[in-house]
Structure 1
Amino acid sequence: MSPHIRDDKARRIPAPEGAERVAEARSVLVVGGGIAGLSAATGLAERGVDVTVVEPEQQLGGRVRSWRVDGAAGPVTMSRGFHAFFRQYYNLRALLGRIPSSEPLRAVPDYPLRSSDGLADSFARIPRTPPWSFIGFVLQSPSFRLRDLPGVDLDTALSLLDVDFPDTFRRHDGQSAQEFLDRLGFPERARHLALEVFARSFFANPTDFSAGEMLAMFHTYFLGSSEGLLFDTASDDFDTALWKPLGDYLSGLGVRRLRTRVESLAMKSGGATARMEDGTAHEYDAVVLAAGPGETRRLGSEATGVDDSPWTERMSSIRQAPPFAVWRLWMDRKVNASRPAFLGTAGFGPLDNVSVLERFEEGAARWSESHGGSVVELHAYALDEPVNRESLQRRLRDELARVYPETRLSGVLEDHLLIERDCPLVGLEPWDERPSVTTPHPGLVLAGDTIRCEYPVALMERAATTGWQAANELLRQWSVRGHELRTPPLTSRHAYPRALRTLLGAGERWRHPTRAGRVHHR
């Protein structure tokens, strides 16, 4: 499955030039078997590098893995929740293109959003190309109404269109998503769309989520790309559809895997020593640190041989988002046939979205057919600590009954509740101070959705993009050809937003915010 790029303005990032394969033996340790680590391992192994992936979990996929559980409902699978593979995820789709399968993804026909005040939005029938996508959404949406537009601040609204990455990230240093929307003057109904979908999809509270990152998401998914807001999801559980076949592909390239944990990294001239939890030590020419935020912070900040105190401090300051919950329920009766595969919710207590797995996952569909029930998954993001499991479950079940009333009478044959706190927080710290792919030591590179990226990408696509970038950086050092990348447009699709802002003087106020009494931007 190769990435199908429909947007003629998508940016091509050329690969580093060089030989087709390494001229001498090179060994690389990839710490982490998630999307970032798998992208880096693929990029290196395809150029003849000897790659070892360290991943303590039995399955690959990192925070997008799935695993088997046995219980009252029989042998079923569990995961950390539904994931949307947007059409703009060019570099992730390039990775999945290595899977020897006809179609590991399945299209989801709509992405409806429902608010507790009775309003509902849909993205199924709006045009894909800006500005018609925005105009079409306003014309059909009960959340955005034409009569609301005079109340929107024009300067701030135009800044949604007048983007230039990565400078747009920098211009919003210190500003939260909520502050931006306060100044924008969104009608209260529309704030749910912006806050719940974009901020909470990062597992963050809007008060603690970067405005620059939110603008990047508006640009990538809505205002700057013609790929649209619809997406695909895995056609079966993640391990079956994606990571096991990709793991087989990597094994065919000679990639080895160690099911262990890296205790420490010692960087030195020309290589690195990695000590594992069993006490053994292994030598490598380079290391790709592609673990989750906690392990990246620990291994990076404690690595020896990296003589750069400011960098070490930046690594030690990596933050994690608040806890989130995924509750999967195997119910004894089906939900109504009209229910979508995925529904985003706002104003329903802790409930952020509902998935009906048999709508898209083959294993869940077989279970539903044989048991006459539905597999329903509930997500709750940015939870307050400490999390009371029993109280959370009661509230989620009550809110599910408000959203899908037929579930009030459903019995539960089996359920699994997962509460985790291991996702990165894209906060208000200066963009330039976030860790990037390169480090002060040439033999150590970073990858993952924790890592800063100059392109308007996030979540799984940031993990894949930085994984490819990490591989490219090492290949560049060894004079080997890297891998071409793609990204949504880095600037606005049209010149009129900047021209209009210049005409109104808004652009000058934006670039010098203290003139308007704002001190939280650069």
Structure 2
Amino acid sequence: MRGRTAHGGTRHGRDRRAHVVRGPQGAPRISGAAPRVAVVGGGIAGLAAATALAERGVHVTVYEREHQLGGRLRGWPEELADGSTVTMSRGFHAFFRQYYNLRGLLRRADPALNMLHGLPDYPLRHSGGLQDSFARVPRTPPWSALGFVALSPTFGWRDLTRMDPRAALPLLDVRVPGIYRRLDHISAWEFLERIRFPRAAHHLAFEVFSRSFFADPRRLSAAELALMFHIYFLGSSEGLLFDVVREPFPAALWDPLARYLSGHRADIRTGRAVESVEPARRGGFHVLTGDGEQRCDAVVLALDVKGLRSVVGQSPRFIDDDAWRARIMGLGTAPPFLVSRLWLDRRVASDRPGFLGTSGYGPLDNISVLERWEGEAARWSARTGGSVIELHAYAVDPAADRAAVRRSLSAQLHRLYPETREARIVDARHVWHADCPLFPVGGYRNRPTVRTPDPAVMVAGDIVRSDLPVALMERAATTGFLAANALLERWGLRGQTLWTVPVRGRTPLLRALDRLAGDGSG
């Protein structure tokens, strides 16, 4: 299916029930003096907002504290012990086919999305010996669920009959924000216990869905878990397979998009951290950085949680609303995570998948063999005869011995891929971060919305609440476009049309059963 988007391109996807959200109507481009907007943050959300605004002739300045764009998908150069220059990043990211708005953003610079490459499968292996695959699972609900049960060694028909159907009804008609009213008060772990989700298959829910939030399922809101089931499995016919980048993030995504934005006269300032934002005497705002200040008419705050708290905390006269400021200052971050990338002097076995999810292998959550899909790693492998391996550990205990966690990841790699035991590590990089948003039980009402008490200030990012069924990178892109739309509407300009997975359960009978249960999420 293809649908026209606001900027004149097409939305590519197979789901005929994908939901369209029309942007505001208005002039295609500003006439007269153009307003000035400061976009604080150069990650996905900030770049989406900047793109939609710049395309309409708005003067946009993007401030990014790092020297590279991309936020949590940025990359930076490193020199290895063998003299090779490589691009390090914060690790593997999956670009699902449901990410309509993120993919629409990337199409600005690459209309055919040639920078993305589909992985044929991503198996999930449990330490008990069972392994699940998504390669042959049908993509359209309910056949996707039935096909998965039929093919999975860890989730069978007998398990299905033991589940509590009444408790599971919220999964069958997910709507936003209703799902938060129903399930935000309990944890993802407790919810699966209530519906009697089989213990042998818990890793399917936690490794595929919960761990995507870098959070312990005992702390994660069940509403986020249910939303993930809807987006990727029960509500969309795009399927569970995904794409990866053919080259490191800067070359594949952000350098081309930066050139596109520059072509629309956007001013991109990397290495510029915004310290504070203050109201200007004659209207608008002053954006203060370490080397000066700039006046603007509106602001989009597209920052991670720590950055958002910092700017708001250092801007006492910005947003004169104590309750709003308190909610921002109360936002939390998920536990630390580790990305270990190893350059080995020999290749792993040829049948190793490009990406393997794991469960029961200590702190190890997944393994990537980068030369299977990333050009830079493939060229290094071809030149040296080695492999580039990436190991992830999510939701690490903040009190854990970090050196011990790193050693454990290596030990689990040797356990899963025994041929690596004799490999020499040419070089290694270990990246620790603790800046992903936390979606705790009961936290939904305290998360910011795109609009703030000041109509000239917007917030965007994956922490931001939205009435659309989006999450993770897609929530960042979607809220970035929504922030731009809110400003464009103020100035009488045409906005960005958005797409999402269906906004309710796909099957009328199941939706009716959910309503009869007396706890509908609409």
When normalised by structure 1's length, the TM-score is 0.95
Return the letter of the residue paired with 2:14.
Answer: R
Return the letter of the residue paired with 1:62.
Answer: G
Q: How far does residue 100 in structure 1 lie from its aligned partner after superposition?
A: 4.0
Q: Unaligned 5+ residue runs, structure 1?
A: 513-521
1:18 aligned onto 2:54? no
**Which residue does 2:135 correspond to in 1?**
124
Aligned counterpart for 1:412 among listed residues 407, 414, 425: 425
3-state secondary structure, aligned to 1:409: coil
3-state secondary structure, aligned to 2:218: helix
**Which residue does 1:58 correspond to in 2?**
67
Aligned counterpart for 1:357 among listed residues 365, 370, 374: 370
**Which residue does 1:316 correspond to in 2?**
329
Inter-partner Cα distance in structure 2 for 1:432 and 1:283: 32
Aligned counterpart for 2:238 among listed residues 217, 227, 236: 227
1:108 aligned onto 2:119? yes
Aligned counterpart for 1:471 among listed residues 480, 484, 491: 484
1:84 aligned onto 2:73? no
Stretch moving more, 335-344 or 167-176: 167-176
1:38-81 residue CA offsets vs partner (Å, 9 max, x unmatched): 00000000000001011122211110011110021411111100
**Which residue does 1:518 correspond to in 2?**
none
**Which residue does 1:192 correspond to in 2?**
203
Inter-partner Cα distance in structure 2 for 1:209 and 1:270: 41
**Which residue does 1:249 correspond to in 2?**
260
Q: How far does residue 199 in structure 1 lie from its aligned partner after superposition?
A: 1.0
Contact 1:301 1:316 in 2 (8 A): yes
Inter-partner Cα distance in structure 1 for 2:468 and 2:180: 10
Inter-partner Cα distance in structure 1 for 2:170 and 2:395: 27
Contact 1:356 1:377 in 2 (8 A): yes
Inter-partner Cα distance in structure 2 for 1:305 and 1:403: 52
Contact 1:286 1:443 in 2 (8 A): yes
Taking only aligned residues, the RMSD between alpha carbons, in angstroms, comes to 1.6
**Which residue does 1:519 correspond to in 2?**
none
Aligned counterpart for 1:458 among listed residues 464, 471, 478: 471
3-state secondary structure, aligned to 2:319: coil
Q: How far does residue 429 in structure 1 lie from its aligned partner after superposition?
A: 2.6
Q: How far does residue 338 in structure 1 lie from its aligned partner after superposition?
A: 0.6
Return the letter of the residue paired with 1:42.
Answer: T
Return the letter of the residue paired with 1:390.
Answer: A
Inter-partner Cα distance in structure 2 for 1:145 and 1:21: 56
Contact 2:276 2:312 in 1 (8 A): no
3-state secondary structure, aligned to 2:171: helix
Q: How far does residue 267 in structure 1 lie from its aligned partner after superposition?
A: 3.1
Inter-partner Cα distance in structure 1 for 2:443 and 2:423: 49
1:10-41 residue CA offsets vs partner (Å, 9 max, x unmatched): 00000101111123321010111110010000
Query: Structure 1 residues 447 and 194 mapped into 2: Cα distance closer, same or farther (>3 Å)?
Result: same
Contact 2:452 2:458 in 1 (8 A): yes
1:308-339 residue CA offsets vs partner (Å, 9 max, x unmatched): 11111111111100000000000011011111
When normalised by structure 2's length, the TM-score is 0.95
Stretch moving more, 164-173 or 234-243: 164-173
**Which residue does 1:41 correspond to in 2?**
50
1:109-162 residue CA offsets vs partner (Å, 9 max, x unmatched): 102111001111111111110000000000010111111122211112222102
Contact 2:450 2:459 in 1 (8 A): yes
Q: Unaligned 5+ residue runs, structure 2?
A: 1-8
**Which residue does 2:3 correspond to in 1?**
none
Inter-partner Cα distance in structure 2 for 1:352 and 1:461: 22
1:189-216 residue CA offsets vs partner (Å, 9 max, x unmatched): 1111101221111000001111111111
Aligned counterpart for 2:193 among listed residues 167, 182, 187: 182
Aligned counterpart for 2:309 among listed residues 284, 287, 297: 297
Q: How far does residue 457 in structure 1 lie from its aligned partner after superposition?
A: 1.0
**Which residue does 1:97 correspond to in 2?**
107
Return the letter of the residue paired with 2:30.
Answer: V
Q: What percent of counterpart residues are identical?
A: 52
Stretch moving more, 146-155 or 267-276: 267-276
1:434 aligned onto 2:452? no
**Which residue does 1:68 correspond to in 2?**
77
Inter-partner Cα distance in structure 1 for 2:181 and 2:482: 21
1:261-302 residue CA offsets vs partner (Å, 9 max, x unmatched): 111111357411111123x12100001100111011222344
Return the letter of the residue paired with 1:462.
Answer: R
1:227-272 residue CA offsets vs partner (Å, 9 max, x unmatched): 0000001110000111011111111111112231111111357411
Contact 2:175 2:469 in 1 (8 A): no
3-state secondary structure, aligned to 1:344: strand
Q: How far does residue 433 in structure 1 lie from its aligned partner after superposition?
A: 2.9
Contact 2:275 2:314 in 1 (8 A): no
Number of aligned residue pairs: 508
Q: How far does residue 355 in structure 1 lie from its aligned partner after superposition?
A: 0.3
